[in-house]
Amino acid sequence: MVSAGNSGHPAPGSGATASASTSTSSPPIGAAVKSPAPPREIPPTLRPLQYLGIPRSVLTWQPKLPSRNWLIFIGTTSTLTALYVYDRRECKRIREEYKDKVRHLAEEPLKPNQFARKVKVYCAKSPGDDDYDKSLMFFKKFVKPILVAAAIDWDTTNGTRYGGLGRAVREDIYARRRQLLGLEAWGTSPSSPGASSSDPPSEAQLTASSPFALSAQDQLQRELEGATVIVGRPAYKEYMWGLKEGWTTSLPAARSDLDEPLAKRLAEDSVFDEVEYPEVVQAREKAERLRNAPPLSRDDEEWQQALAEAEGSAAVSGTAIQGGSSISGSSLSDAERNAAAALASLEDEGDGAGAPLPPRRHGGGAAGSVPFSMGPRSVVEGISSPAANARLAPPAQIPAQAPLVFFEGASSVQAYRESPPQGGDLDWGLRSEDFVLPRFEKTLTDVSKARESYYNDLPRQIRDTRTLARGLREPSAVEKNNPPKTEMQLREERMRREREWEWTEQGYEILRKDNGVAWHEAFRGSLRVFESPREEAKEEL
């Protein structure tokens, strides 16, 4: 019995356990079995595509709502894209609207001897912005298409440095005043850094003698019929500063190099003065020891050669290496002599410093020719005579200027104030100064730090250059591959750095926020402004 019970038949308890464990993996008896969802039917319109090899999953794909993150991404990109497209489309529509208003000017016929209208465009570097071409880019993008549609010619002047536009306007006015007085030939280029009286004539001066060129009167009339386009408030402040400096200050009698005053001032300081270097002191001591050598050794050739080298090294310290150009103030230049002769011949005439047109008797000289001959009086007397000083004095009222083009409503200047707001046209673009970058206020600090760092290192450079050039030491391994600058190069570099620093400081004084637009009472009645038509005038048109 026992063997039969152990023959492989399970016990009652074990069989119940097996059946219970099997029931957990299968649905209970009588429960509904959930069948898988049938595949989505292919739309009737897409059924022919399944015979072209397109997978069934592609034909039965059903779109669903994106997730939250995808909705945020799609909404943001769609909004920004729509705003950009709308902005570009509106800009294009407004530009085309302005072009349609001036297109009739391009269709007006011109006479064979008539020139197209011409405007002067002034751009300047924005304060704190390293991109000095940004205002010029705005002109090309928004103003140039309108000028092209109207068939109007233009001449662009862009200030790439702080105050560069103002200095260019000032020198242009100085050149124009000298030409109006007959001191220079018509079309002579204005003064610039490095300019001299021996420079070749400019292109305008060469073309002035051609038979098809405009006369001085016709050229000035063409300028008055044109306009002055100013792009941005920085260009406005620099232009008005140059206008004030050019017309309300005493006129230089001759065209000169703008770097000459700075070069004279740098030549008078003690930066490049000779000093006693240790190498020179050692060479002098060595020469003294050789001179005190015993008499028997003085006949030796090596002793004589060493003594000559030591004396030469000790004596070379007293000789300065001539670097840069020497400036002589004892003699006058040819331009100053010609200017003095011109002023001497003009003493008997009335005051015409502010005349709108050049005198016909003296204007239109050939390029490079001297329009006046030296009279019996001396050159110095001609320059310093009372009549000459009266000629070079600023006029009581400047000549009529081409009208200014503003992009906002304009009103006349009532009472002048130096600090903004000044009222009237002088406040044009005043709101743009609220967006000036803060680093512009650190301009003077940056210039001071750069100047201090440079002058702290300059004595070392001068010492290395002089000791190496005079043979007081051997060049190092680094100097053999990269020789140091010569003394002339050091002087030129100093001149260039000082010029940049002075220009930057001058430009900062012009463009700073608490300094308004320059104004002078001599401008009143001579400056005009283009005003946009009012709404009533637009309705009448």
Q: What is the largest CA-CA distance in the chain?
A: 164
Q: pLDDT digits over 472-531, tens only?
A: 788 888 888 998 899 999 999 999 999 999 999 999 999 998 888 888 888 888 888 877
Q: How far apart are CA 172 and CA 176, in angstroms?
A: 6
DSSP string covering 331-377, please? Answer: S--HHHHHHHHHHHHTTTSPP-TT-SS--TTT--PPTT--SS---SS
Between 283 and 44, the more confident residue is 44
Q: Quote the pLDDT of residue 39.
A: 80
Sort 314 into a burial class: Cβ within 10 Å, 0-12 / 13-18 / 19+.
Answer: buried
Q: How far apart are CA 261 and CA 336, in angstroms?
A: 16
Of residues 396, 403, 402, the one with CA closest to residue 354: 396
Which pLDDT band holds residue 165 (cuts at 50, 70, 90)?
very high
Q: Which H/E stretch holds residue 133?
A: none
Q: Report the percentage of the chain scoring pLDDT > 70.
A: 64
DSSP structural state of residue 44 = G
Q: How far apart are CA 28 and CA 248, in angstroms?
A: 110
Q: Which residues contact 53 (CB under 8 A, 6 or more apart)?
A: none
Average pLDDT (95-112) is 90
Q: pLDDT digits over 117-147, tens only?
A: 899 999 999 898 888 888 899 999 989 999 9
Q: For residue 173, is pLDDT > 70?
A: yes
DSSP structural state of residue 440 = G
Total residue length of the chain: 541
Answer for the pair 235, 165: CB distance below 8 angstroms, yes or no: yes
Q: How far apart are CA 14 and CA 6, in angstroms?
A: 13
Q: Count Cα neighbours of 317 within 13 Å in the Cβ-side half-sphere.
A: 18
- Give every strand in the sheet of 404-405, ordered side by side: 153-159, 118-124, 227-230, 404-405, 529-530
- The three-state (H, E, C) secondary structure of 256-315, written as one string: CCCCHHHHHHHHHCCCCCCCCCHHHHHHHHHHHHHHCCCHHHHHCHHHHHHHHHHHHHHH
Sign of the torsion formed by the C-alpha atoms of 450, 195, 400 and 404 = negative
Q: Which H/E stretch holds residue 396?
A: none
Q: Quote the pLDDT of residue 278.
A: 66
Q: Which residues of 398-412 are buried (b: 16+ CB within 10 A; e: fewer)?
A: bbebbbbbbeeebee
Q: Where are the beta strands (DSSP E) in 374-471?
A: 404-405
Q: pLDDT digits over 17-40, tens only?
A: 444 444 455 666 666 667 777 888
Q: pTM higher than 0.75, yes or no?
A: no
Q: How far apart are CA 139 and CA 143, in angstroms?
A: 5
Q: Structure tokens of 93?
A: 């529509």
